[in-house]
Amino acid sequence: MNLIRRFLSGYTENFLLAVTLWPLASLALTLPILAWLYHRDGRLRFGSAVATYLAVLYVLGLGCFTLWPLPSGERGLGITYGVPWQLDPLAFVDDFRREGLSTLPQIAFNVVLFMPLGFIAGRLLR
C-alpha cells in the first residue's frame, strides 16, 4: 500500500490541474459535442449528456497525466527537447528487471488510465 501511495503522490499536481481546468474545458468542449450528438440523433438523452461531460474530464485528465509537465531540456526537436521516444511495447520488462516491484503500480495504472479510452471511442464511433 505504501508503494501505491508513494507512486500517486507524484501526480498530485497533475490531478489538481485537471480538476481546475475541468469547468472551463467542459464548457468549451461539452456544448459542441452535445450539439453534434443532437444533430446526429435528433434528440439528446440525459445519459449521453452525462457521458459526454465525464468523457471531457477523462480526456483532460489523460492530457494532464501524460503530458504535464513537459520534459525539460535545452536542445532537440519538438516538445521532447532531446528526450528520446519510447516506442518499444515491451520496455516495461527491462524497467521491471532494473527497478523491481516499484514498476508494478506504473504498469497497472497505465492499463487503468487507458481502458476508458476504448469505451469512449466505441461509444462515439459505434
- The residue ranking higher by pLDDT, 22 or 38, is 38
CB 65 within 8 A of CB 50: no
Residue 53 grid cell: 461531460
pLDDT digits (tens, 9 = 90+) for 57-84: 888 777 777 776 655 556 555 555 556 6
Question: pLDDT higher for 122 or 83?
Answer: 122
Determine what percent of the chain is predicted with pLDDT higher than 70: 77
Q: C-alpha grid cell for residue 50?
A: 452525462
Per-residue pLDDT at 55 = 83
Give the pLDDT confidence of 18-33 residue by residue, as tens digits: 778 778 887 888 888 8
